[in-house]
Chains A and B, each alone.
Chain A
């Protein structure tokens, strides 16, 4: 059974810092990996989708990398801003299945 772990569970940093969120998964036979953002009381917003054949994806100040063989992904946030405060969720889709398996998220606070 696929398990997804996110470290750290919570992170608080001052504004302007660059930071890295980590995601690991136990079954490397994934179809793709997706990073989401969830604001309190809200739904999930997709940030980046990496197919299994890709190594990274970039959108603005966000960069996600994927190392399928080691079962790891990182989300890099450059020049963090208070508006980046949210919970960030990593999810994998296993090849041959269609649903996503989620980690429990990293709760991020950016201090002004």
Chain B
């Protein structure tokens, strides 16, 4: 398996623009997580899905953030409109019944 695949690896966008981050989890994993990493706050859980259903989105910072998982092999995290304080590395991770987590390589987002 190729692991958890995220795209793009880097994204630079202007404030106010819409940003969409993508994730393909490991085949057969039933959990998918979105995390954000910053120097100040470390790694924070934003939202996670179980069997494509959102379970807990309490970590999503604002209504500008939304996430979807239309099928077992694809998820998106969207920020609209983006702001400079959204600049961070966004990680996607998947897990099989919660026994260990595999992370993607992350998307480094810069909002100017």
Structural contact, B43 and A102, CB atoms closer than 8 A: yes
B70-93, CB < 8 A from A: 91, 93
Instruction: Mark A76-94 against chain B: 1 for CB-CB distance below 8 A, else 0.
Output: 0000000000000101010
Identify which of B31, B42, B100, B104 contacts A98 (C-beta below 8 A).
B31
Q: How many residue pairs between the two chains, A and B, have CB atoms under 8 Å in the bound complex?
A: 52
Contacts of A97 in B (CB 8 A): 56
How many of chain B's residues touch chain A, expressed as a range?
A: 20 to 34
Given A43-B91, A98-B31, A98-B48, check contact A103 B101 (CB 8 Å).
no
Q: Is B66 an interface residue (CB 8 A)?
A: no
B28 to chain A, nearest CB (A): 17
Distance between Cα atoms of A34 and B106 in the complex (Å): 19
User: Which of A41, A98, A104 touches B98 (beta carbons < 8 Å)?
Assistant: A98
- Does A34 contact B48, Cβ atoms closer than 8 Å? no
Any chain B CB within 8 A of the CB of A58? Answer: no
The yes or no answer to A42 lying at the interface (CB within 8 A) is yes
Query: Which residues of B sit under 8 angstroms from A99, Cβ to Cβ?
Result: 33, 45, 48, 56, 59
**Separation in Å of the B22 CB from the closest CB of chain A?**
15
Interface residues in A36-60 (C-beta closer than 8 Å to B):
36, 41-46, 49
Docked-complex contact A44 and B42, CB < 8 angstroms: no
Give the interface SS of chain A, mostly helix, strand, loop or mixed. strand
A31, A34, A43, A99 — which one has the most chain B CB atoms within 10 A of its CB?
A: A99
Q: Which residue of A lies closest to B31 (CB)?
A: A98
Chain A contacts of B104 at CB under 8 A? 43
Q: Which residues of A contact B91 (CB under 8 A)?
A: 43-44
Contact A105 B45 (CB under 8 A): no
CB distance from A105 to the nearest CB of B (A): 7
| Residues in A whose Cβ lies below 8 Å from that of B59 | 99
Interface residues of B (CB under 8 A from A): 31, 33, 42-45, 48, 50, 55-56, 59, 91, 93, 95, 98-106, 108
8 A-B residue pairs with Cβ-Cβ distance under 8 Å, sorted by A, are A45-B103, A46-B103, A49-B100, A98-B98, A100-B45, A100-B101, A102-B44, A103-B42
